Amino acid sequence: MIQIAIYGKGGIGKSTVSANLSAALSSSGKSILQIGCDPKHDSTHLLMGGTSIPTVLNYIRTKVPEKRDLHDLVFTGYGGVCCVEAGGPEPGVGCAGRGILTTFELLEQLGIREIPFDIIIYDVLGDVVCGGFAVPLRHEYSDAIFLVTSGEYMSLYAANNILKGIRNYDHATARIAGIIYNSRGLEHEERFISEFAKAVKLPIVASIPRSDLFAKAEKEGGTLMQLYPDADITSIFKGLAEHVLGLCCGITPLFPAFPLTESEMESIVLGRNIAEKLCSYTHAPRKEQSRFRSPATTGTIGKHFLTKGVKNKEPLHGCALAGAVTSAVNVTDAVTIVHGPRSCAHILSNFLQSSSLKEKVRYGVLMPDNRQNMLLPTDMSEETFIFGGIEELRQCVENAISDGWNTIFIATTCPAGLIGDDVELVISCIKMDYPDVKILPLLVDGNLEGDFAQGLIEGYRKVAELVDMSISPEKGWVNIIGEKSLSDGEGANFLIIENLLSQLGLKVNCRFLNMTNLEKIREFKKAQFNILAHDDDSNLVLRDFLIDRFDVAFFEYPFPIGFRETAAWLKALKQYSDSKVDIEPLIEVEKLKYETEIKKYRPFLRNKKLLVNSYSRRIDWILDVAFDLGMEVVKVGMLKSSTDDIIRSRYAGLFEVEYDYDSEKRQKDIRELCPDLVLSNYPPAFATEGVHHDSIPLVPEVGFDISIKLAKRWGQFIRLPATEGWKYDGGESE
């Protein structure tokens, strides 16, 4: 397959050239795809019989992600040519360049690369040289580039700007197929185009004269091949098609870009001496300084991963940038560059720091934590958004290298994604000077690519690139996978799990990914097997990825919560790890403690009604205690979740379950079912009269002791008045 980009000034005839070239190529028996990259979305008009086809960007606005299909975007036109139109925003609104990026990403996600096209033609507006419109210049999209131009100065000026863009991407690499001269019939036009072509060292591969047949064909809604196959003008496109087929075979040469300076353009094309012209003018008088200040500029993320059960579900929680950075900063001897405004890095830093402080306040555990200090912003400003942030990113990376960082993550924010900064290009350039430095891009573009969970997974994938594939497993070592590193109880939970593992003679090799150094990540495969901290959707995606990538083993059960789960977990783990340690004495001690405490609080809680309202579908650790205390579970209301769907319980059938539960339904059930205790992830700000409320932690404590703590807590609640005495205002309760 060969990919061809056709660039030129707006209105110069790129779409006419592209459509007629595609039509001519179709007669060769090649399969052709033409993608229009102009907001006018008229590139494929002639191929489609004079009709417009739906654009990708309009499709994105009207079709939810899970229902998108490539067949809705690819249309078959004359000669079997497949046609796609990117489209664009309304004039004056949004960023059309970002639309090109989005179009290409969606087409790849939907499988456009899986269709075996022989030739792909991109018809691209050449006046706009921002990152979005420059996407087809990238090597993954174009093998050869044609410049369509007339002999008019502004058309040649646009062609020269395109050469500058190509030079920025390629340096001296040869990728230009030549100039297509589309005549306007102006005086001395041929001389101008000839001088320009000679100056930039490019051949004129086709000369297209003015012809009324173009207007007639457009009026009839067809290409020249279709309507006037024997006309002389049609033979030009047949010859151009032969030129392209030569590119396919590798027999037609390509050329590097040698753009002209502005003074060279003036001199060579127009015969002017720009230096003399400037000297003929006097400086304009200096204006009085304005009373008004100019607006200040504020100083200071195939590449995407589609997750199972997480991608495109509503509602989205958080942004992919925060998720990706959360993964990266848990590599303790790497630095993460946030390519975006300082505010993004500042918010993330506070976000990371607060989790560490909450851990200390609530659990008395303060794990070694300098995550918030491992973030560097590129300080994108308003000016950067307009002109691009590549230089700022390059400087930030080089500063990090100078500071001694040898492993660097680069996470992209929404602004970086919107303006189309090519992070991969920066990395490839820096790697030439610093080949030993590892630079890993996290191209999540803020929240443009999804939510926190998706960014987290993308971060995990990148960190996995640091694993040494040659290391073999060693008995007695385990990896802990998928801890919620931002949870204020995860540090305490790790210490509990580490102690339980030590009871079986097992040691933790790598925490993937929670405050882990590069050496531990490199030795990831040293573990005999892996244990999931939680079996939610994002962790199941992570588990499947690690199995596919490294062919590693996983213990069946996640971290246990409560007495019953922990006892069963230890027995299963002993068998799975082939441990020779007798775990029964420990379990018997814990069983005695549990039964003693349950017996103590059962008199207060027997026959009390319990209503559970939870996000998590894993609630048996609560139900175990409730049923052992003799409580009546009147209902379980499952809050709407973006991940899990169905409750998982050994007690299914013993109580009513309602999904998509909300606060209004909860209040209705409190009035009708009259529970004594209501458990919720988020208790109401104002409790219902006569009802006790308690919270369910999103990441509960693991191990044996949580069951006893629940029984004790509920027992204390029930013995307190359900309505505070001060509410009687000195009177007697009814």
The total of other beta-carbon atoms located within 10 Å of residue 705's CB is 17
Which helix (H) or strand (E) covers residue 659, if one does? strand 657-661
| d(C-alpha 524, C-alpha 511), whole Å | 9
Active-site entry in 38, 123, 127, 422: 127
Q: Would residue 127 show up in a list of annotated catalytic residues for this protein?
A: yes
What is the DSSP annotation of 571-588?
HHHHHHHT-----HHHHH
List the Cα angle 691/696/697 in 5-degree steps: 150
Active-site entry in 40, 609, 665, 709: 40
The total of other beta-carbon atoms located within 10 Å of residue 104's CB is 22
- Long-range contacts, 231-236 (Cβ 8 Å, 24+): 233/208, 233/209, 234/20, 234/24, 236/206, 236/207, 236/208
Active-site entry in 9, 311, 462, 608: 9
What is the DSSP annotation of 283-322?
PPPPPPPPSSPPPPPP-----S---TTTTTPSSP-S-HHH
CB 85 within 8 A of CB 36: yes
- In Å, what is the CA distance from 405 to each residue of 443, 461, 548, 587, 677? 20, 21, 30, 47, 53
Q: Would residue 544 show up in a list of annotated catalytic residues for this protein?
A: no
Q: Would residue 63 show up in a list of annotated catalytic residues for this protein?
A: no
Q: Would residue 219 show up in a list of annotated catalytic residues for this protein?
A: no
| d(C-alpha 405, C-alpha 401), whole Å | 5
* Secondary structure (3-state) at 422: coil
Which residues lie closer than 8 Å to 154 by C-beta, 6 or more apart?
Answer: 9
Alpha helices in 10-152 (DSSP H): 14-26, 56-62, 96-109
Tell me phi and psi for residue 407, to 5 degrees.
-130, 125
* Secondary structure (3-state) at 229: coil
Active-site entry in 14, 313, 608, 635: 14
Q: Which among 539, 569, 541 has a CA at the least distance from the CA of 555? A: 569
Task: Tell me which residues are annotated as active site.
Answer: 9, 14, 40, 127
